[in-house]
Amino acid sequence: MHEQGKVKALIVFGTRPEAIKMCPVVKEFRTRSRIDTKVCVTGQHREMLDQVLTLFDVVPDYDLDIMQQEQSLFDITSRTLTGMQNVLADCKPDIVLVHGDTTTAFATSLAALYMQIPVGHVEAGLRTHNIYSPFPEEYNRQAISLVAKYHFSPTQMARYNLRLEGRASETIYVTGNTGIDALKTTVRPEFHSDIIEWGKGSRLLVMTAHRRENIGDPMRSMFRAVRRVLEKYEDVKLVYPIHKNPVVRKIAYEMLSDHPRIRLIEPMEVDEFHNLINAAYFILTDSGGIQEEAPSLGKPVLVMRDTTERPEGLDAGTLRLVGTDEQIIFYACRQLLDDPDEYQKMSTARNPYGDGTASMRIADVIEKML
Ligand code: UD1
Ligand code: UDP
């Protein structure tokens, strides 16, 4: 049933990073009297999604529960597409909001297109222009831009990318990144955790690695590099909260579990993780979201990918693209550990991703749909 004088907005997400960046939107929408907010999760992730929902206290109205162990892109796409057909038919939203570049977001936008329901795309306009890097995310986000009616871009650069692809100026809103809205609520100087305690007195590195295109040889090469770093520097420790993907876990445990200064741990609650990176010396990652968070915290990041859709962090000086080659990663780590000037250059806190009010700006636009 539609409530009189309200826009019915269905917010859909399925993975950890989408949840971290969409829960602030859900929270904001729920404060608005002119928006009737419904939440659907696909469950593309299970434990890693539920962790975030619990922390932000968001209870979904719909849960497709699609996750399977070692699921393929075909599994995620087909299960989301057919699942969303039923949800959209039941919910009848005025607008569907999706986030970023996951297969949940892509398949949901396709379902909305098939039912001719307008789509709002949060974190719109990021590009590498290389369809295989990151894979399949670059395709997903380009495809979503084709169907979206409202593009919520985190930066002017993202807006520019959309303009180059012919999206009309009045459909693009530069809002900042909703991930910064989340970060504003989690980082606290007095935050205490056992793992931060364990790192005290050392130079603590934090690593995450999960990308599909890195699984196999590139990941092995990344892990060999960090092992060499740990062997060379006795004052360095490393924490790696491992993604739940069993293939990633197998490689990580095989290669890194027996080192006394490496801690392989379970995926962390987002507030714990944000405070951990705030306590880190530097970060090694192939993640997207962490590239946005680190510039705010002034933490150098070595990005273990060949491309990035986040050039703002490169411009801010916080990120350095190092690819997945063992030797290049090893030398980049050495430079940060040996050269105080280089370390200093990459450690200045700058935030290219907005002032933490992106969700409010998005809600303002949705209210005006009335
Ligand atoms: C997905 C997104 C990627 C995003 C990442 C964030 C796609 C194609 N990829 O990749 O863009 O960067 O999420 O982490 O949308 N698993 C669990 N429990 C969980 C989560 C995952 O067991 O809570 C395992 C399952 O075996 C699953 C596998 O991890 O099959 C991979 O998950 P999947 O969502 O397919 O891919 P990600 O690499 O997580
Ligand atoms: N993160 C988390 N716990 C962890 C590792 C990461 O909460 O153990 C957060 C991190 O701060 C960021 C998001 O998860 O907000 C990034 O998710 P991920 O790396 O899975 O996906 P990507 O951003 O690459 O799509």
For residues 176-202, give the mean pLDDT. Answer: 94
The tens digit of pLDDT for each residue in 346-367 reads 998 788 999 999 999 999 999 9
SS3 state at 265: strand
Query: Cβ < 6 Å from ligand 1: which residues?
Result: 15-17, 44-48, 67, 69-71, 73, 76, 101-103, 136-137, 210, 212, 243-246, 288
Distance between CA 151 and CA 119 in Å, rounded? 9
Share of residues in the chain with pLDDT > 90 (%)? 94
Going from the Cα of 18 to the center of ligand 2, the distance in angstroms, rounded, reads 9
Task: Report residue 297 CA to chain centroid gap.
Answer: 16
Cβ–ligand 2 contact at 270 (below 6 Å): yes
Return the residue whose CA atom lies nearest to atom 19 of ligand 2: 287
Q: pLDDT at position 340, please?
A: 97
Q: pLDDT at position 189, please?
A: 87
pLDDT, mean over the chain:
96
pLDDT band with cut points at 50, 70 and 90 for residue 4: confident
Structural contact between residues 260 and 235, judged by C-beta atoms closer than 8 angstroms: no
pLDDT band with cut points at 50, 70 and 90 for residue 1: low
SS3 state at 34: coil
Q: Is 137 a residue of the active site?
A: yes
Q: pLDDT at position 109, please?
A: 98
The sheet carrying 319-321 orders its strands as: 262-265, 236-241, 203-208, 282-285, 301-303, 319-321
Cβ–ligand 2 contact at 287 (below 6 Å): yes
The tens digit of pLDDT for each residue in 290-329 reads 999 999 999 999 999 999 999 999 998 999 999 999 999 9
Q: Which ligand is in closest contact with the Cα of 291? A: 2
Q: pLDDT at position 344, please?
A: 96
Q: Is 212 a residue of the active site?
A: yes
Decide if pLDDT at 209 tops 80.
Answer: yes
Q: Where do we find the tokens 């829960």?
A: 23
Q: Is 151 a residue of the active site?
A: no
CA distances (Å), origin 323, targets 133, 163, 222, 320, 339: 11, 29, 9, 9, 21
Phi, psi of 356 (to 5 degrees): 80, 15
Largest CA distance in the chain: 66
For residue 175, give every residue at least 6 positions away whose Cβ sits within 8 Å of its Cβ, in sequence order, or none.
Answer: 152, 153, 154, 354, 358, 361, 362
Bond before 295 cis per omega within 30 degrees? no
Going from the Cα of 92 to the center of ligand 2, the distance in angstroms, rounded, reads 31
Decide if pLDDT at 96 tops 90.
Answer: yes
User: Global pTM?
Assistant: 0.98
